[in-house]
Amino acid sequence: MKKPFVTLEQAKKIIETYPTPFHIYDEKGIRENARKVNAAFSWNKGFREYFAVKATPTPAILQILKEEGCGADCSSYTELLLADAVGQKGEDIMFSSNVTPAEDFIKAAELGAIINFDDITHIPFFEKLAKIPETVSCRYNPGGVFQVSNSIMDNPGDAKYGMTKEQMKEAFKLLKEKGAKHFGIHAFLASNTKSNDYYPMLAKIIFELAVELKNELDIHIAFINLSGGVGVPYEPDEFECDIMAIGEGVRRVYEEVLTPAGMGDVAIFTEMGRFMLAPYGALIATAIHEKHTYKEYIGLDACAANLMRPAMYGSYHHITVLGKENAPCDHKYDVTGGLCENNDKFAIDRMLPKIDMGDILYIHDTGAHGHAMGYNYNGKLRSAELLLKEDGSVEMIRRAETPADYFATLDFTGLLK
């Protein structure tokens, strides 16, 4: 059973100051989870989690994670600015992007970030903009289908990211010739995996590649970045990954492959967004309309502009009607927003308690790729973000958008003054 981290009483009090809809984050849960991740990989002296800024690009959240020892994984110019703003410097930042504009590479080089090249053609492109740094990384794509046991997790061969093995070899040769001295390998083969075996299996693939590259090219492999992909249980009965077991699994493969090859100094990096934040954020909304036609509909004051995942992917997000946690789920609803799009639905044919107008709905697991994916279709304005602090107080960490924000890029016309 999924349990909200705010009660009906807390929500009502918050709404007195901050009207729905809003995203709220649990500081205590975020910190505890970050500490657990660090503990799971504490066997590796150089371990570091580089939080995927794209998941929750909010400075207050980035600051909390920085305080817990995390770096920042950035993929754009603006994300680099956010990382810099919270004090992440130099190799605290991993820059992993694709189809990268020149200005993004220039900013990453200016900040001293670790550059993770997605394609071999990016190397000469980058060299026209900045000097090749001594520490660099390249992104590997082994192709084919990736599966754990008999379960297909994803299809790397269809992904636009990363280089083939032969391209990795050529890239590292080229980078070595241009002065690079320390090399990293990065790979991302599957998203939101529900298995403790994903990271260890991915690690074995990359570790074996690392040994091959070290021996063939006579280079120093400084780190291996397992990227993200560790999933969370969006549905109540889904498998919940055990990060301690995952860390132990990676340790065993490390000692099996890297240690005998004389590579016991290789640091392990991760880049988790979803696992670090998703369960520790929620979208709070109010039921404002009901409709009885061919189906039963409940309309919220939130919409896909606040949480795009269900509309975009058909993703499941659990819903709790605050104050009715123990009531029978004997009503079938489509829970919708007000966009002029029929896919603007948070839930379809969802069994829930009877919902009355004014009820407060808690939509779970929106802490990653929730507010961040918001947009302004239909002139909808993105909501505020709040932080439930460890002492129980609530702080606004991003205000809600206003019509003035929506029109700000039109202010040159004179029509809206």
* CA end-to-end span of the chain: 51
Angle at alpha carbon of residue 219, lines to 189 and 199, rounded to 5°: 25
Q: Which residues pair with 395 in a beta bridge?
A: 387
52: left (phi over 0), alpha (psi -120 to 50) or beta: beta
329 is known as an active-site residue = no
Contact 88, 71 (CB under 8 A): yes
Catalytic residue among 70, 241, 329, 340, which?
Answer: 340
Q: What is the 3-state secondary structure (H, E, C) of 50-118?
A: EEEHHHCCCHHHHHHHHHCCCEEEECCHHHHHHHHHCCCCHHHEEEECCCCCHHHHHHHHHHCCEEEEC
**How many whole angstroms separate alpha carbon 320 and alpha carbon 325?**
7
Contact 5, 23 (CB under 8 A): no
Token readout for 236 is 């109540």
Q: Which residues pair with 154 in a beta bridge?
A: 146
**How many whole angstroms separate alpha carbon 355 and alpha carbon 321?**
8
Helix/strand number for the chain, H first, E second: 12, 19
Helix 59-67 to helix 77-85 angle, to the nearest 10 degrees? 60
Active site residues: 340
